Structure 1
């Protein structure tokens, strides 16, 4: 077997190196852009998790308020005219709180 010699000119080699460097720079820029987008998505997800936690807490508060209103609003066995005004006022306050 004879020896193989590669006959590359310096100009061809430099051209190929430039092309490789340009491609590498392009890929690095694309990766940095992608990385930036991933960071924004992570931040957005953290905000969403906090928002969901707040909504769950608000939902629990409203469920408690609704249960209280329901318990205070049960139809009394006594005549309606005999319900103390303070109890009606309290029911109204709880209803207003639940609607906030």
Structure 2
């Protein structure tokens, strides 16, 4: 599934990517809205090689970022260790 839509991104039967579905178009429109309305990071921030680390260890835990599009592995770094964030479940949900 293409997250947030009823469409898929890849057809396993034909082994082809699906790039023209309504869900695909809606996803791209969502990203366009984020950046055209200034809701995303500045270009220099987005291109920073450390942005992934900053999102998980600084921006989200310090409440400086409202939403991150990432994977299910992200909270793994908050459970224990140098960048533990015990309140992550209550904060993010």
The two structures have a TM-score, normalised by structure 2, of: 0.24
Q: Which has the larger share of helix?
A: 1
In our comparison, the structure showing a higher alpha carbon Rg is 1
Q: Greater relative contact order (Cα 8 A, min sep 6): structure 1 or 2? A: 1
Name the structure with the higher strand share.
2
